[in-house]
Structure 1
Amino acid sequence: MGRTVTTLEAPSRPAATPPGARPDRRWWILAVLGIAQLMVVLDATIVNIALPHAQADLGFGNADRQWVVTAYSLAFGSRLADLFGRKRVFLVGVVGFALASALGGAATGFTMLVIARAIQGGFGAVLAPAALSLLTTTFVHPDERNKAFGIFGGIAGAGASMGLLLGGFLTEYLDWRWTMYVNLIFAVVAAVGGFVLLTHTRAEARPRLDLVGTVLVSAGMFAIVYGFSHVATLAAEGHTGASGWTDGQTIGFLVAGVVLLLAFLVVQRRIANPLLPLRILTDRNRGGALMAMFLSAIGMFGVFLFLTYYLETTLGFSAVKTGVAFLPMTALIVVVAGVGNTVLVRKYSPRLLVTTGLLLNAVAMVLFTRIDVHSGYASTVLPPLLVLAVGLGLTFAPSFSLATLGVEGRDSGVASAAINVAQQIGGSIGTAVLNSIATSAVATYIASHAAAAGGVTPALQEQAAVHSYTVAFWVGAVVFVVAAVVVGPLLRPGLPDFSANENMDEPVALHA
C-alpha cells in the first residue's frame, strides 16, 4: 500500500501555507481544533458540580468521589499522531471520546462511571496532542501562529471554568448524566469539521509504538495518585494527624510510583523510538513551559474542586449560580491569553510573563484563604478569582506556544502531547494531593474541636470544611511560588525567535 510524503520547504513568503491546510480554511481548522480542545478540557471539570448528584444517584462514598475526577486525567498521551497520521488519530479520538461519554452517561454504578471516565481520558490523551500538532503545522507564519496559539491557550485556560458553568446548567435543569452526554454534540461538530477540512497524508517513516514506556509511565502515575488518594480514604475512616501519610500502603505506592517513573526515564534513554524523547526536554524554554503547565494545573484544579464545594455546600449556591460565579474568571482568561500571545510576547520575554503569572496565582491563593462560613462572593471570592484569571492567562498562552516552538518535525506530535499531558497529570496529582490534605485537615479539626463544641455538630462540620479549603489554598500558594522559583531560571531571558517554526533548516514531513 503506497504512502505519500508531503514536505514543507523553508517559505519564501511570510504567508506560506502548509500542505493539509487549505489556504482559505486555516481559521476554520482552528475553530474545529478549538472545539475538540474545549471538549477535552471541559471534561476535566464539568462533572465537579455534578458529583454530589451522581454520588447520591449511584451511592458511592466520599472517599471514592475523587476518582471520578482523577480517572479522567490519569491517561498518558501517546505518539499515535506521529504513527498513523494526525487527521486519522484526531477523528478516532473524537469518536472514541464521544462513545466513552455515552457510556458514562448511562452508568449504573460507581465502577462503570470511573471506567468510562478513564476511557474518556485515554481518548482525550490521543485527541489533544493530535489537535495541537495539527495547529502547529497549520499555522507556520509567526503572526498567525501567535494569534492561533493565543486563542488555543485561552480555550485551554478558560475551558475548565466553562465546564463548571455548563455542568451547573445541565445538572440543575436536566440531569447530571447530561454532563457526559453533552460531549456527543461537540464530537459531531468536531468530527464533521475535521473530516471536511483536514487532508490525510502519511509519513514514510513510521516509528514503533513504545509499549514498555507506556506501561511504565501509566503504572507509575497511577501508583502515585493512588498513594495520595489512600491518605484521603484513611482520613474519611477516622484516621487523624500524620497517620495516613505514614501508612505503609501510602508509602509503598508512592515509592513504587517513583521507581516506575525512574525506570521509564531509563528506558527512554536506551530505546530507538521512545514515547518521550528526552531531547525535547533539553530546550530550556520547552522544559520551563512544561513545568509551568504541570505546576499550574496542580493549583488550578484544586481551586475548582474546593471553591465549587465551598460555594455550593457552605454559601448555599445552586449548581447554576456556582457556574455563573466562575464566568468573570473565564472571560478574563480568554482576554489575557489573547493579548499575552499577540501583543505582550512581542515586547516582554516569556520568562517575565510566565513568572509574573505564577506569582499572581500565588497571590490569588493567599486571598482565597480569607473565606469563612459567612463570606460574601463579591468581597471575598471574586477579587482572587480575577487575580487568578490574569495569572493563568499569562502562564498558559506563552507556555503552549513555547512547548512546540522550534521543535523538529519528527517530534511535533510528542511535543504537543507533552504539554497536554503536563496539564492533565498535574491536575490529577493536584486533585489527589490537595483532596488528601483537605480530608486530613477536616478529620484533625473535628477531633481537636469536638469537645469544646459539645460534640460533632453541623456547625462544627461546616467550620471544619471551610478550614480544610483554606489549608488547601495555602498549599496551592506554596505550589505556585515554587513554580515561579523553578520555572523562572529555566526560561531564557529575552524574546524568543517566533520564526523558528516558519524557517526550518530541514524539510518537515507533514502527515496530517
Structure 2
Amino acid sequence: MTTAAQRSQERPPAGPAVRQRRSVPHWTVLVVAAAAQFMVILDVSIVNVALPSVQVDLGLSTVGLQWVVNAYALTFAGLLLLGGRAGDLFGRKRVFLAGLALFSAASLVGGFAQSETWLITARAVQGVGGAVLAPSTLSLLTTTYTDPAERAKALGVWGAVGGTGGAMGGLVGGVLTETLSWRWVLFVNVPIGVLLAAVAAWALVETTPQVRRLRDLDVPGSLAVTGGLFALVYGIVSAETRSFSSPFVLGPVLLGVGLLGAFVLVERRAPRPLVPLSIFRRRALVAADGVGLTVGMGMFSFWFLLSLQMQQVYGFDPLRAGLAFLPASLALVAGTAVSTRVGRRTGPRPLLVAGPLAAAGGLLWLSTSDPGGTYAAELLGPSMLAGLGIGVTMVQLASTATAGVPAEQAGLASGLLQTCRQMGGALGLAVLSTVAAAHTAAVVAGSGGGGGGGDAGVEALAAGYDRGLLVGSCVVACGALIGLLVPRQPQGDAETDEARDAARKD
C-alpha cells in the first residue's frame, strides 16, 4: 500500500488534481493565490495615477511614460507561457516562490530609480517575476478545487480579487503618491511580498515535478514570442513620433510579425513545445483567449487614458484621481459577484457577450465627455458601467479557459489566458495611446499650431483621449462577438465537443 501511494506521487494523475503529500485546508491555497494575483494585477494599474509625478521627477518623455507601463506588460505577456509551463514541469510551489522573490526584488530596485532607463528596466524585470508568479495562482486553484461548484466559487473569488487589483490600483497609487511619493507605488510590493512568501511557504504543498531539465522549457519558443511582442509594440509606439511608413515603424512591426510566425514553426517541431498546438482544439479555451485579448486591449487603455484625462484635463491631483476610480472599482467587484452567481445557471456564453458589451458601452460613453463638465456628470456613470462590464467578463474568462483542461496542462491554459489579456493590454495601450496623441496633434494643428497650452491645449488633450476611448470601445465590442463562439456547456472541452459531433454524424 505504501509503495503504491509513493508511486502515485511520482507522476501526474489522470484526474484533474495533483495529489499532495500532506493535507492543507483549501481556503489557505485560495488566500495565497488570490493575494498574489491581486499584487501582480495591481502593479499593472497602480503606476497610472503616479505617471505625471514620475514624468516631472525623472524628466520622462511621452514615449518613455508609455514604456513604464509597457515594459512591465510586455515581459509579463511574453513570458507568461514559459512561467505557466515551468510550474507544470518543475513544481508550482517552487516556481511560485521564485517568481514572488524576483517580483519583490525588482520592485525594491525600481523604487530607487534615478533615471528613465533605470525605472523601465526595473519594470521589465518586475514583469518577468509576475510572469513566473501569475500562472501558478490559477493553476493552484484548478488543481486544488476539483468539485465544479467549489471551483466556480474559488475562481469567482480569484477573479474578483484580481479584477479589484486592477481597479484599485488607481486609488492605492493616488494615496501613496499624494501622501508619500510615487516611489511607494513600487516599494509597497516589498512588505506584501515578504509576508506572502512566508504564508505560501507554509500553506502550499509542492507538486511532484514532471521534469528537471532546463531544455524542457522550450526557451527558443519563449524567446521568439517575447521578442515578437516587444518588436511589434515598439514599432506601434514609435508611430507616435514618426510616420507609419518610417523604417523605424515598419521594421520593428515586420520583425515582430516574423518572430511570432517563427514561434508557431518552433512549436510545431519542438520535442517539448511551450504551447502544444493541440490545445487549441479546445473551443472554449480559444474563445476565452480571444475575448481576453480584445477586452484586455480596452481595459488597460481605459485605466491609462482615464487617469491622464482626470489629471491633465479635469485638473485632479493624484489623490483625488485615485478616489475617483473607487466607484468603478466597486462596480467591478459587483460585476464579479453577479457573474459568479448568474454563471452557474446560464453558463459562460451569455455573460461573455453581455460583459464586453457593457464595457464597450462605458468606453463609448466616456468618449463623449465634455472637458468643461463635472466628474459626476461626465465620468462617474460611464466609468462604473465599464468597470461592471470588466468584472462580469473576467470571472467567466478564467472558468471557461480552464474548463476540462487536465492537471498537467493547467499552468499552460492559465498562462495562455493571461498572455492574451496582457498582450492585448500592451498592444491596446500602444495603439490607442498613439491614436490619442495623433488626434491631439491634429487638433492643435487645426487650431493654427499654437494651441499647445491654456484652454485650447486642454481641449486638444481631451479630444485625443476621447478618440482613444472611442476606438477602444469598438475593439472591446469585438469581444462580445467572439463570446458567441463559447460552447453552451460551462464545462465543455474539445473532447466533449468532438464526441458530440461524432454522435451527430452517426
TM over 0.5: yes
Question: Is the CA contact 1:49–1:308 (under 8 Å) kept in the aligned structure 2?
Answer: yes
Asked if 1:221 is matched to 2:229, the reply is yes
Of 131, 152, 156, which aligns to 1:146? 152
1:421 and 1:146 mapped to 2: Cα distance? Answer: 22
Q: In 2, Cα distance between the equivalents of 1:40 and 1:209?
A: 23
Q: Deviations over 1:400-456 (max 9, x none)?
A: 1111111122211111111121121111111111111111111111011126xx654
Q: Given that residues 354 and 398 in structure 1 are in contact (C-alpha distance below 8 angstroms), is that contact kept between their aligned partners in structure 2?
A: yes
Task: Please tell me the residue identity of whatever aligns with 1:249.
Answer: F
The 8 Å contact of residues 347 and 495 in structure 1, kept in 2 or not, is answered as no
Which runs of structure 2 are paired with 1:301-450 in the superposition (5 Å)? Answer: 301-341=300-340, 343-450=341-448
Name the CA shift for 1:10/1:91 in 2 (closer, same or farther; >3 Å): closer
The structure richer in helix per residue is: 2
Q: Secondary structure at the match of 2:239?
A: helix
| Structure 1 position 9, deviation (Å) | 6.6
Aligned-partner residue type, residue 461 of structure 2: A
Letter in 2 for 1:52: P
Q: For residue 429 of structure 2, what is the amino acid of its counterpart?
A: T
Asked if 1:67 corresponds to 2:67, the answer is yes
Contact kept in structure 1, 2:15 and 2:407, CA below 8 Å: no
Q: Report matched runs for 1:156-171 at 5 Å.
A: 156-171=162-177
- Which gives a bigger RCO, structure 1 or 2 (Cα 8 Å, sep 6+)? 1
Does residue 1:472 correspond to 2:478, yes or no?
A: no
**Separation in structure 1 between the aligned mates of residue 23 and residue 14 of structure 2, nearest angstrom:** 16
Q: Which amino acid aligns with 1:347?
A: R
The amino acid of 1:112's aligned partner reads W
Q: What value does the CA root-mean-square deviation take over the aligned residues?
A: 2.1
State the Cα distance separating 1:217 from its structure 2 match: 0.5
Inter-CA distance 67–9: structure 2 relative to 1 (3 Å threshold): closer
**Counterpart-to-counterpart distance in 2, 1:281 and 1:449:** 51
Contact map agreement 1:147 1:338 (CA 8 A) in 2:
no
Deviation at residue 287 of structure 1 after TM alignment: 0.6
Q: Distance in 1 between matches of 2:41 and 2:171?
A: 13
Instruction: Give, in whole Å, the separation in 2 of the partners of 1:70 and 1:442.
Output: 21
Unaligned stretches of 5+ in structure 2?
A: 1-5, 497-506
Contact kept, 8 Å, 2:295 with 2:356, in 1: the verdict is yes
Match of 1:132 among 115, 131, 138: 138
Secondary structure of 1:46's counterpart equals: helix
1:443–1:405 Cα change, 3 Å: same
User: How big is the shift at 1:6?
Assistant: 6.1
User: Which residue of the partner structure matches residue 232 of structure 1?
Assistant: 240
Cα shift readout 1:114-148 (whole Å, capped 9, x = no counterpart): 11000000010000001111111111111110111
- The answer to whether the Cα contact below 8 Å between 1:315 and 1:373 also exists between their aligned partners in 2 is yes
Question: In 1, are the aligned partners of 2:175 and 2:319 still within 8 Å (CA)?
Answer: yes
Query: Any idea what SS the aligned residue of 1:256 has?
Result: helix
Residues 85 and 18 (structure 1 numbering): CA distance in 2 closer, same or farther, change over 3 Å?
closer
Q: Does structure 1 residue 496 correspond to structure 2 residue 491?
A: yes
> 1:49 aligns to what SS in structure 2?
helix
Q: Does 1:212 align with 2:220?
A: yes
Report the Cα distance in structure 2 between the residues aligned to 1:456 and 1:145, rounded to whole angstroms. 54
Are 1:184 and 2:186 counterparts?
no
Counterpart AA for 2:63: A
Note closer, same or farther for the CA distance 1:101–1:265 as it changes in structure 2 (3 Å cut). Answer: same
Cα pair distance change 1:486/1:21, threshold 3 Å: farther
2: distance between equivalents of 1:9 and 1:265?
28
Q: Which letter does structure 1 place at the counterpart of 2:487?
A: R
Task: State the AA in 2 paired with 1:428.
Answer: A
Displacement, 1:25? 1.8
Shift of residue 316, structure 1, vs aligned partner: 1.4
Deviation sequence 1:219-238 (CA, Å, 0-9, x none): 1000111011101233xxxx
Identify the residue that residue 121 of structure 2 maps to in structure 1: 115
- Give the superposition deviation at 1:10: 5.5
SS of 1:217's equivalent?
helix
Aligned to 1:509: none
Amino acid corresponding to residue 203 of structure 2 in structure 1: L
Structure 1: 5+ residue stretches without partners: 12-16, 235-243, 502-512
Contact 1:164-1:323 within 8 A present in 2 as well: yes
- The CA distance in 2 between the partners of 1:334 and 1:24, in whole Å, is 28
Task: Name the structure 2 match of 1:240.
Answer: none
Q: Which residue of 2 aligns with 1:45?
A: 45
1:122 is paired with a residue whose SS is helix
Moved over 3 A (4+): 6-11, 17-24, 203-207, 454-457, 494-498
Task: Report the CA distance between 1:189 and its aligned residue.
Answer: 2.1
1:193 aligns with 2:199: yes
- Distance in 1 of aligned mates of 2:409 and 2:131: 16
> 2:322, 2:278 → 1: CA distance?
41
Matches of 1:196 and 1:440 in 2, distance apart? Answer: 52
Tell me: CA distance 1:351–1:56, structure 2 relative to 1, closer, same or farther (3 Å): same
**2:129 counterpart SS class:** helix
The question of whether the paired residues in 2 share the 8 Å contact of 1:21 and 1:197 is answered with no
Report the secondary structure of 2:62's partner residue: coil
Deviation (angstroms), 1:19: 3.2
The structural deviation recorded for 1:60 is 2.0
Alignment match, 1:506: none
1:238 aligns to what? Answer: none
Aligned residue pair count: 481
Residues 37 and 155, structure 1, Cα contact 8 Å, conserved in 2: yes
Rounded to whole Å, the distance in 2 between the matches of 1:217 and 1:360 is: 32
C-alpha contact (below 8 Å) 1:93/1:126 kept by paired residues: yes
Q: Distance in 1 between matches of 2:245 and 2:482?
A: 28
Contact 1:71 1:114 in 2 (8 A): yes
- Classify the secondary structure of the residue corresponding to 1:44: helix
